[in-house]
Amino acid sequence: MAIVLGIESSCDETSASVCIDGEIVSNIIANQTIHEQYGGVVPELASRVHQQNIIPAVHQAIAQAKINKKDIDAVAFTRGPGLLGSLLVGTSFAKAFALANEIPLIEVNHMQAHILAHFIPNQHEGNPNKKPEFPFLCLTVSGGHTQIVLVKDYFDMEVVGETLDDAAGEAFDKTAKILNLPYPGGPLIDKYAREGNPDKYKFPEPQISDLNFSFSGLKTSILYFIRDHVKENPNFVEENMADICASIQQRIVSILLNKFKKAAKLYNVKDVAIAGGVSANSGLRNALTELAQKQGWNVFIPKFEFCTDNAGMIAIAGYHKYLKQDFVGQDVAPLARMGM
């Protein structure tokens, strides 16, 4: 039996999870609400709140797993990419925990972990063991990244397309800010969009070569669109919130899926997946499911709790490294930037 404790602290969620033989038996996520008032994550505040939350989160994860601290075989932590101050808290905790309990330490790449969340069992209704087969293509969309990844094996991944400027999550959050919605705006755009007409307003689709993305032009066009309409009607946004959100969401989703479709053809894959915080978006989930049916793809969409940042994905990635005995020493340091 192998028990791995996972620790995630790369941005503004402090999370701890226990993985027993490949099953996630606890996944405690402490959200930080302090950043709402600033319209974005304030790195210094994030690391201080991680310091407050990390020990209670670990205690809770261990208690919920109904295990003893002494039963844990290894501790896995997010080494990067992320905010350095935030990563330092999780890394330092994991190193101390490994040292005190005389167990190995496992480093995990946050972007790989978002994808490896698909190997957590019981995510697909009707078939608890359904998981993507290598090689598959994953669209990873979060607050910091937008990538099309060719996944050849658990830890053999190649980024074949990525954003040249803003990430998809930033596109949601920054346009939400233009609409005076609080941070993070992605889930709110999703909520309003459910009631709106996605064809009401037309926003441009950028013409970018290869499998890359760009969202900064869309953001600017939305900014001008709102500014011009508000000049004529100061209540334009409030009166048309649902239609505006639905139209923005539809455009972001079409930008993502048009490139994803191109990539799936190019790499000739049958299994496709989405990962990262934006994969919680209902418009993206529905559009991808529909596209997959048309294209004959097997589609993998994670459970909501494994879309946004969580330690479950770190624990499952750590478990697969544990099986390979892939450990790191106490001299390991976090990395704000970390390639695949």
* Binding residue ranges: 110, 114, 140-144, 173, 186, 190, 281, 309
8 counts as binding ligand KG4 under rule CB under 6 A = no
- If you compute the radius of gyration of the chain from its CA atoms, what whole number of angstroms results? 20
Give the integer Cα–Cα distance in Å for 183 and 35. Answer: 8
In sequence order, which residues have a C-beta less than 8 Å from that of residue 61 and are 6 or more positions away?
5, 16, 17, 18, 26, 27, 28, 311
3-state SS of 157-220 is: EEEEEEECCCCHHHHHHHHHHHCCCCCCCHHHHHHHHCCCCCCCCCCCCCCCCCCCECCHHHHH
Interface pick for Zn ion out of 9, 86, 91, 142 (rule CB under 5 A)? 142
Kindly state the smallest distance separating residue 277's Cβ from ligand KG4, in Å.
Answer: 2
Task: Tell me how far apart the alpha carbons of residues 188 and 186 are, in angstroms, rounded to a whole number.
Answer: 5
169 binds, among ligand KG4, Zn ion, none (CB under 5 to 8 A by kind): ligand KG4
312 binds ligand KG4 (CB under 6 A): no
- Tokens read off for 20: 């027993």
Question: Number of residues in contact with ligand KG4, rule: CB under 6 A?
Answer: 18
**Binding piece for ligand KG4, criterion CB under 6 A, among 56-64, 206-214, 228-236, 271-279:** 271-279
Q: How many helices (H) and strands (E) does the chain have?
A: 10, 10
Site for ligand KG4 in 130-189 (CB under 6 A): 142-144, 169, 172-173, 184, 186-187
C-beta closer to ligand KG4: residue 73 or 162: 162
112 is a contact residue toward Zn ion (CB under 5 A): no
**Looking at the DSSP assignment, which residues form a beta bridge with residue 30?**
14
Pairing status of strand 156-162 against strand 146-153: antiparallel
Choice between 67 and 335, CB closer to ligand KG4:
335
Q: Is 18 helix (H, G, I), strand (E, B) or coil?
A: strand
Q: How far is the CB of 232 from ligand KG4 (least distance, A)?
A: 29
Q: Which is nearer to ligand KG4, 190 or 271 (CB)?
A: 190
173 binds Zn ion (CB under 5 A): no
Contact with ligand KG4 (CB under 6 A): which of 30, 278, 288, 299?
278
- Total of chain residues touching Zn ion, rule CB under 5 A: 2
Taking CB under 6 A as the criterion, the residue among 8, 166, 243, 309 binding ligand KG4 is 309
Q: Which helix (H) or strand (E) holds 66?
A: none
Chain residue at closest Cβ approach to ligand KG4: 277
CB 140 within 8 A of CB 147: yes
Strand, helix or coil at 298?
strand
Give contact residues for Zn ion (rule: CB under 5 A). 142, 309
**Binding residues for ligand KG4 (CB under 6 A):** 11, 142-144, 169, 172-173, 184, 186-187, 190, 276-278, 280-281, 308-309
